[in-house]
Amino acid sequence: TEILDVTETRNGVIITEHNGKKYALKWTARDPKNDSFEGFLLLNRAKNWDGFNAALKTYGGAAQNFVYADVKGNIGFHNSGRIPIRRTGDGSMPYDGATGDGDWVSVIPYEELPNSFNPPEGFIVTANQRIVGDSYKYFLTHLWSSPHRARRIYQLLQANSKVTVNDVMDIQRDIFNISYSGFAREVIKTEAASKETLDILRGWDGKMSADSNAALLVGEIRNVFLNKILTANVGAERAKNYRWGLSASLVDWLAAEKPASWLPKEFANFKDLLIASDKEARANLSAKYGADAGKWLFGNAYKIRFNHPLSAAPLIGSIFAIDAIPQSGSGLTPNVGASVSMRHITVPGSWDETRHAVALGESGNPKSPHYKDQLENWRLGNTPVFPFSKAAVEKAAKEVVIMMPIK
C-alpha cells in the first residue's frame, strides 16, 4: 500500500512542481456540485427539446456537444458543461495563484452556450470543430480540432436532399481528405516536386486508403514543409514540439497564400521550398520502407492497435493480443481510421432501423466468440442492424444470457 499526500488549494489540487514552484489544476469535474449522472438520467427521460435542455442544465461534466433529434423531425444541438469565466486571461497559461489573476468569477450561463435548433440547412454537423465565430462574447477554447472533417461531412450532406441510413453509413466510411488533396493540387499546379512524385499525385483520388502510396507521400511532404517553416520561424526545438490541433489549416494557408514573411531565408520562393520538402520526404520514406515507392503504403505506416493490458504478460499474453491492422482514414477525414469506440446510426420513430457496432466485441473474454466478432464490420464501416423493440430483439437474438442474483 502506498499513501500519497495530496495538497488542495483554492485553485485546485497541486499536480506537479518545477523549479521550486507548485502548480495547481482547477477543473470543473472535481467540483462535487457537478452531478453529471443526474444530467444523463434526466436526458434519458427527456421527451422533447425542452426536456433535453432541462436535463443538460444540470450537467457539469467535461464540455461537449449534445445532439438532439425527435420523432417529429426536429433536430438540434447544445454545448454543455460548466465553462469558467475568468477574471483575466483564458487559462491557456499558468497564473500566479497569489494574485487572483485568472480566478474563476462565474460560468457561462447555459442559455448562452453555443446551440442550434432546426437550422435552415436542415442538418447539423459537429466533429470537434470550432462552433462559434469571432463575435461570440465568451472564451471557450483554443483547442479546436481541424475543421476538415466537418467540412467534408457538410459537403456530403449538402449534396443530398434526402439522406438515408445507407448515405450516413457512406459518410461514416468516407476517407476523402480535403486538406491533403488541396495540397497535392498546389504541388501539381506549380510542378513543385520531382517527376516521380508528380506522377503519383496526378493519379491520386484524394482518399486516405490503406493501399495508397500518394496518401503517405503527401503527408510526409507536408510534415517536412511545415517543419522547415516552423524551424525558421520559432527554432528547431519548438518546431519539434509543435502540436497545435489546427496545424492542417496552417499548412493549407501557407501552401495557398505563400506569405513571404514565413519563407525560410535559404529558399528563394515557395516552389523551391516544396521541391526541397519533396526530396527530403522521399528520402525519409526510402529509409523506412525501401526505395520502391510502390511500397510506401499508407496502411503500412498507420495501423490500428488494440493493446490489452495483459497482452505483454509472459505465457498468457498471446491469448489477449490482437494483430495490428492497416487502416484507411485519418484525423482529417470523416472516417478517422482509429480511436472510434463505436459507430451508431439512429432513425427517430423507426428505432428498429438503428445500426450499431463497437470496435471489437461485447465480451472481454478472449475465449468468447464475441471477443472481436464485430471488428471486421467496424473496420469496413459495415455497421449492422441493432434492433430496439422487444419483438425485434427477440427475433434477431441468437443467444440469451441469463444473469441471476446470488441466493
Q: In this structure, what CATH number is given to the domain that contains residue 81? A: 3.60.20.10
* Reported confidence tier of residue 337, pLDDT bands at 50, 70, 90: confident
- pLDDT score, position 28: 86
User: Rounded to whole angstroms, how far apart are CA atoms 157 and 245?
Assistant: 25
| 138 in the same domain as 28 | yes
Look at residue 20 and tell me if it is in a domain: yes
| 199 in the same domain as 125 | no
pLDDT tens digit string along 194-221? 999 999 999 999 999 999 999 999 999 9
User: Rounded to whole angstroms, how far apart are CA atoms 394 and 80?
Assistant: 37
Structural domain tally of the chain?
2
Look at residue 113 and tell me if it is in a domain: yes
CA dihedral 89, 95, 99, 100 (to 10 degrees): 50
Look at residue 349 and tell me if it is in a domain: no
| 190 in the same domain as 103 | no
- Return the higher-pLDDT residue of 363 and 35: 363
- pLDDT score, position 37: 85
User: Rounded to whole angstroms, how far apart are CA atoms 319 and 48?
Assistant: 47
| 79 in the same domain as 123 | yes
pLDDT tens digit string along 230-287? 999 999 999 998 888 889 999 999 999 999 999 999 999 999 999 999 999 999 999 9
Look at residue 405 and tell me if it is in a domain: no
> What cell was used for 381?
464501416
User: Rounded to whole angstroms, how far apart are CA atoms 366 and 358?
Assistant: 16
* Reported confidence tier of residue 1, pLDDT bands at 50, 70, 90: confident
What range defines the domain where residue 262 resides?
178-302
Look at residue 164 and tell me if it is in a domain: no
| 191 in the same domain as 90 | no
Q: Is the pLDDT of residue 32 over 80?
A: no
CA dihedral 267, 268, 270, 274 (to 10 degrees): -50
| 219 in the same domain as 118 | no
Look at residue 312 and tell me if it is in a domain: no
> What cell was used for 2?
502506498
Q: In this structure, what CATH number is given to the domain that contains residue 217? A: 1.10.1400.10
| 262 in the same domain as 193 | yes
Q: What share of the chain is helix, strand, coil (3-state, %, to 5)?
A: 40, 15, 50
Give the gyration radius of the chain's Cα atoms: 25
Contact 169, 383 (CB under 8 A): yes
CA angle 377, 381, 382 (to 5 degrees): 55
| 124 in the same domain as 47 | yes
| 134 in the same domain as 13 | yes
Averaged pLDDT of the chain: 94
Min mean pLDDT across 47-51, 108-112, 123-127, 403-407 is at 403-407
Look at residue 371 and tell me if it is in a domain: no
Chain position carrying cell 446470488: 406
User: Rounded to whole angstroms, how far apart are CA atoms 363 and 372?
Assistant: 8
Q: Which of 243, 275, 302 is the C-terminal boundary of a domain? A: 302
| 190 in the same domain as 117 | no
Q: Which of 144, 162, 190 is the C-terminal boundary of a domain? A: 144
| 13 in the same domain as 140 | yes
> What cell was used for 90?
483564458
Look at residue 81 and tell me if it is in a domain: yes
Chain position carrying cell 496552417: 250
